[in-house]
Amino acid sequence: MRLTQGTFSFLPDLTEEQIKKQIEYAISNNWAINIEYTEDPHPRNNYWELWGLPLFDIPDPSTVMYE
């Protein structure tokens, strides 16, 4: 299912390489990375689940891509 609202909704789906670039940007800015998901991707669904714990001090994007 494709969401039609949100930050990247107006763009085509990101490729794996583009996702890695987004992660590299976050790593270069020393940001923690969280992976959120939902089984009900409705625009009014505010409650998404956190996959594991936030990822701090990630050395490269492959760790995040593995998750």
For residue 2, name the pLDDT band (cuts at 50, 70, 90): low
CA dihedral 56, 44, 18, 61 (to 10 degrees): 20
pLDDT surpassing 90 at residue 39: no
DSSP symbol at 7: T
Write down the mean pLDDT value for the chain: 81
Radius of gyration of the chain (CA): 13
CATH of 16-66, one of 3.30.70.2740, 1.20.120.420, 3.30.190.10, 1.10.10.10: 3.30.190.10
What mean pLDDT do residues 10-22 have? Answer: 88
pTM over 0.85: no
